[in-house]
Structure 1
Amino acid sequence: MSSTAPDTVPSGHIPGTRRPGPPSATAPRPALRRAAPALAGYLAVRFTGLAFLAVWAHRRHHGIWPMLATQWDSRWYLGIADHGYAHALGVAYDHNNLAFFPLYPLLVKAVAAVTPGTRASTGLALAWLASLAAAWGVFAVGDRLAGRRTGVLLTVLWAAYPVGLVQWMGYTESLFTAFAAWTLYAVLAGRWWWAAAGAVLAGLTRPTGIAVAAAVTVTALLSLRTRFSARALAAALAAPLGWCAYVGWVGARLGRWDGYFAVQRMWHNEVDGGAQTVRWLRQLFGQVSRPELFLVVVSVTMLVSVVLFGCAVADRQPVPLLVFGGVLLLIVLTSGGVYFPRARFLLPGFPLLLPLAGYLARASRRLRVLTLTAAVLGSAYCGAYMLLVWPSAP
């Protein structure tokens, strides 16, 4: 095999689109210039949401920094950065911090040690920087598959996700999306070492990192049908190692082989084949009284995601995108855990938005403007509602 040419990657084709070559990996400045409209659009959407939140929070006499940097799951990550992980399973439900993967809190601890400010500020800054890396990666995937316009639209749609405000909170979604996007880009480009490294890092960031690993492993193994590649085989074997390493470490720490899964059971996160998801949907849409708005948003987001995945299959999206989106959806829909964060769990699934981005790229300018305006305003309202009105957690 040539040492300079990337390996062949089996992939489908999105009808009606072109496949431009990716910008050179050794020329970041031209690549950044090409991505500039997407990054500008991303920042415009997120600053719109932040401004809407600030105005609403001011009217309620709330500060936005504590909500973004220190609330809900952010406290768990900061607690891990401050005190480390628990040593025992315990008996309290929803209380064991071993459910949270380690890369983000370790980064917070490491960066905070050499920079001024609190760990909360460091965590928030890391999330903001990771969101820009994620937006660039989302654009790069869309640009490679369908051209610059679709890449820009895909980035803006991802920014305007209903719970997109989470991208600028002290959470792991932005960091995980950055790893997922650039890993998928590396797979599409046949750069197996980068793909394996990205999958390992994604697997150390969130439980759904196994979806990134699956995308790399399945695609690499399929590529071996046409041409053997030691790099592809190595990437297929290495991709799950980050996820497996943390799961194995938790088991060793607790002294039981199923330690991580026991922790998840203490958080009510058990695979039930989707039974609880169906129960929630029936309860929400079958009740006579008006259902809670945020839960409706979560439910509609999940249902639309399923439809978009069907469109992606019909469009014959490349294999790694289909595997990543399919496994992510499967994990979220078949989990018996808490219901209200599920839209957030799907946030890294940006390939699900590719059919919509492709459609808008071919639509009239008026339809594009109306659709994106509605998405941006809806995301701004939903994000502020999530933090200021919804009584539980995002």
Structure 2
Amino acid sequence: MNDLAPAAAPGPTRCADPAAGTPLRRAAPALAAYAAIRLLGVLVLAVWSAADGKDWHTLLTARWDSLWYTRVAEDGYGYAVTMPGGDIHSNLAFFPLLPWLERGLSALLPVSAADAGMAVAWLSSAAAAWALYATGERLHGPRAGIVLAALWAALPVGIVQSMAYSESLFTALAAWGVYAVLTGRWVAAGVCASLAGLTRPVGVAVVAAVWLTAVATLWREHNGGIRLRAALRAHPGLPTGVLLAPLGWCGYFLWVGARQGSFTGYLDVQGGWGNGFDGGLAFGAFAWGLLNGPTAAAGVALLLGVGLVGWLYVRGVRRGQPLPLAVYGGAVLLLALTAKGYFGSKPRLMMPAYPLLLPLAAALARRRPVWSWLAIGAAAAGSAVYGAFWLNGSGPP
């Protein structure tokens, strides 16, 4: 059964002892493992880039979307490029929290906006790793928390966590927001959800986790014969958290709409980039095209990858993953797979869906440490090599 009560103990697998030390001290091994894996990725990138005649620093701070974020930080919104086919790429597609932080940090310190973006990403990714440790610790014990943070660092596209992109910032806010729901800190959950909604369009997934868990919590209390007023007293801050959660996402969506003179202004901006949501039709057509051409092997690999992701999600739900994690992870996965646009970016779009890794983390945590760390070490090495190859090639759009 799903853990619908955010503050309730998740079952016999919970082994965290609050008296074992401060939260940061308990998370220190996870943060060390995370930092080591990401440092390996950056070092391999630096060596590979030097051999390829490129600069690793430029690849992390001044390519693809990072250039758009930097332009927003330096010049504000209003910049657009008309493509040869007539499509308009507007910087209104990029949510504002990362550029705001880049602008603020570069004003306080002698660093460029691009370097400020990388600093935000590195700090945010560490904060995300801490939140993942706290989640794994709460559900399956300290070892699972360490493994969960390490697995997230060792994702094939984990190098994005070290780039001046918004994925790390978003994942940190989302993971702490979902953790706040798990622990009954509704106001903190609402604040994190609102900030996540100012970071990426997928911030709506955090809002859904807050709202649906709140509804489920009140419904359970109602079925237990508790009146609404008494239920709200038993869950302080719940109405405030629910009201705060959508403010960031809705605020930016409505601001862009007002600026564009249309309620659907943000969707129109995304349409200019060739993005949008079509229920997965474009993705299905892309996979079918791979299967029916000389790239059939790539099509089979793509379907196997999607199948693995789906299996991990279903396994987590069937093993009693708490409702906020299931809702958040499912929403991120759904939005990533049903969006049209550049399909090479889908692994990056799914990177914040860390709940998918919980079944693997729990399983590895039960193994002998030597085997667990051999598996994680192999994944980390593969991630480092793939990340260097990816950024020196097509890279994330």
Instruction: Check the 8 A contact 2:14/2:137 in 1, yes or no.
Output: no
Equivalent residue for 1:273, pick from 263, 274, 279: 279
**What whole-Å deviation, never above 9, does each CA across 1:308-329 have from its counterpart, x for those lacking one?**
1011111110000000001111
1:146-165 aligned at under 5 Å gives the runs 146-165=140-159
> 2:30 — aligned with what?
38
Equivalent residue for 1:259, pick from 261, 265, 288: 265
Query: Are 1:106 and 2:74 counterparts?
Result: no
> 1:241 — aligned with what?
247
Task: Tell me how far apart the structure 2 counterparts of residues 301 and 154 of structure 1 sit (CA, whole Å).
Answer: 20
User: What SS class does the counterpart of residue 132 from structure 1 fall into?
Assistant: helix
> 1:138 — aligned with what?
132
User: What SS class does the counterpart of residue 340 from structure 2 fall into?
Assistant: coil
Q: Which runs of 5+ in 2 are unaligned?
A: 222-230
The aligned amino acid for 2:62 is: T
Query: Are 1:359 and 2:353 counterparts?
Result: no
**What whole-Å deviation, never above 9, does each CA across 1:93-118 have from its counterpart, x for those lacking one?**
26111111000001101111111021
1:7-86 aligned at under 5 Å gives the runs 8-9=5-6, 13=10, 17-20=13-16, 30-86=22-78
Query: Are 1:323 and 2:315 counterparts?
Result: no
Task: Tell me how far apart the structure 2 counterparts of residues 286 and 300 of structure 1 sit (CA, whole Å).
Answer: 16
> 2:290 — aligned with what?
284
Equivalent residue for 1:126, pick from 98, 113, 120: 120
User: 1:330 and 1:307, CA in 2 relative to 1: closer, same or farther beyond 3 A?
Assistant: same
User: 1:87 and 1:230, CA in 2 relative to 1: closer, same or farther beyond 3 A?
Assistant: farther
Task: Tell me how far apart the structure 2 counterparts of residues 23 and 102 of structure 1 sit (CA, whole Å).
Answer: 39
Decide which moves more: 93-102 or 275-284: 275-284
> 1:377 — aligned with what?
381
Equivalent residue for 1:393, pick from 380, 388, 396: 396
User: 1:356 and 1:87, CA in 2 relative to 1: closer, same or farther beyond 3 A?
Assistant: same
Instruction: Check the 8 A contact 1:11/1:317 in 2, yes or no.
Output: no
Instruction: Check the 8 A contact 1:217/1:237 in 2, yes or no.
Output: no
1:179-194 aligned at under 5 Å gives the runs 179-194=173-188
**What whole-Å deviation, never above 9, does each CA across 1:17-45 have from its counterpart, x for those lacking one?**
22536679xxxx71111001100100110
Query: What's the % identity of the aligned pairs?
Result: 44
What count of residue pairs does the alignment treat as equivalent? 380
CA positional deviation for 1:287: 3.3
Task: Tell me how far apart the structure 2 counterparts of residues 303 and 12 of structure 1 sit (CA, whole Å).
Answer: 31
Task: Tell me how far apart the structure 2 counterparts of residues 99 and 126 of structure 1 sit (CA, whole Å).
Answer: 20
CA positional deviation for 1:297: 7.5
**What whole-Å deviation, never above 9, does each CA across 1:279-319 have from its counterpart, x for those lacking one?**
22233344334766xx9887655432211101111111000
Equivalent residue for 1:173, pick from 155, 158, 167: 167
**What whole-Å deviation, never above 9, does each CA across 1:349-393 have from its counterpart, x for those lacking one?**
111100000011112345323321221111111111111123x63
Task: Tell me how far apart the structure 1 counterparts of residues 247 and 79 of structure 2 sit (CA, whole Å).
Answer: 23
User: What SS class does the counterpart of residue 95 from structure 1 fall into?
Assistant: strand
User: What SS class does the counterpart of residue 22 from structure 2 fall into?
Assistant: helix
Instruction: Check the 8 A contact 2:81/2:88 in 1, yes or no.
Output: no
Instruction: Check the 8 A contact 1:53/1:383 in 2, yes or no.
Output: yes
User: What SS class does the counterpart of residue 13 from structure 2 fall into?
Assistant: coil
Q: TM-score w.r.t. structure 1 length?
A: 0.90
